[in-house]
Amino acid sequence: MTTMRAGFVAVVGRPNVGKSTLINALMGAKISIVTAKPQTTRHRILAVHTTDEAQIIFVDTPGLHRKAGKAMNRMMNRTAANALADADVIIFVTEATRWTEEDDDVLRRLASTTAPVIAVLNKVDLVSPKEKLLEAIAAMAQRYDFADVLPVSARKHDNLDVLLALLPGFLPESPALFPADMQTDRGAEFRAAEIIREKLTLSLHQEIPYGLTVQIERFEAEADRTTIHAIIWVERDSQKGIVVGKGGSVLKRVGKAARLELKEQLQRPVHLELWVKVKDNWADSEQDLQSLGYESP
């Protein structure tokens, strides 16, 4: 009889290396929102992968970054650091094609942990010629005493089966910690707010995505549909007009895209209403952050 193993796998790295894309690909489902902009992930999100032999609990974390000027940035760094402290094994995600000072910063943080660390070189599909990949793997192996160095492409699903097969060996013997059919610890309201924020981030090309957040004011599953009322909070009056768009164009586009994805996810019609409101400098206020649902470890 195979012994069950269960434990936490913290997925860390600098912003925008593909941590959420990697977890979604490993799970075969969209657990975390993904955009090309850094700092898309702001919360700790658990993704639970269960087989007959193991329960791998991935912890998706905000990117660790050096410029922690605002309260939200400091909170995101604390959230990522806490995930490191609780992990049975750590996946350190970098880009196969480049190494930055921020990668160095994350590596220094890993030096103070006791958990084994697997280095995952993501985006190998962008490496050309392929000989450069061997150089990148060799260079990574020199930087730290990694338990393993693994090249993958989260986008193309390359080598992910190898990573999934590797992880249970690092987890303690334990019964499952969550129900076998559970994929994430986050409920429908949280996921709705995140989907709306994702569509906003994809639609807005200025700096505004970092100055907005989404709060669900009403979430009701009625007999024939789900009704969702959401507030989009921005930090300044000038941002409100950009989020609404000329004649409400941006808000309409965002609302339609979010509603279609929510309809698919909830498997029922969705009535979605969005409002834009201003809360001065909410991202630099611990009190505002907590009232808007941000955890402060």
Give me the helices (H) in the chain, please. 19-27, 71-86, 101-110, 131-143, 160-166, 188-203, 237-244, 249-266, 286-291
d(CA 174, CA 55): 9
Residue 10: per-residue pLDDT: 95
CA 234 to chain centroid, in Å, comes to 21
Phi/psi-derived region of residue 153, left when phi > 0, alpha when psi is between -120 and 50, beta in every other case? beta
Q: What is the fold, at CATH topology level, of the domain defined by 188-291?
A: GMP Synthetase; Chain A, domain 3 (3.30.300)
Residue 88: per-residue pLDDT: 97
Please give the single-letter amino acid code of residue 165. A
- Tens of pLDDT, residues 236-291: 999 999 999 999 999 999 999 999 999 999 999 999 999 999 999 898 988 988 88
Domain boundaries, the chain: 5-170, 188-291
Burial of 154 (0-12, 13-18, 19+ CB in 10 A): buried
Taking alpha carbons only, the member of 269, 267, 291, 288 closest to residue 279 is 288
Residue 94: per-residue pLDDT: 97
Residue 85: per-residue pLDDT: 84
Q: Which CATH superfamily is domain 5-170 in?
A: P-loop containing nucleotide triphosphate hydrolases (3.40.50.300)
Residue 33: per-residue pLDDT: 86
Low-confidence ranges of the chain (pLDDT < 70): 1-2, 65-68, 206-207, 209, 296-297
pTM: 0.91
Domains 5-170 and 188-291 share a fold: no
3-state DSSP call for residue 137? Answer: helix
Residue 144: per-residue pLDDT: 96
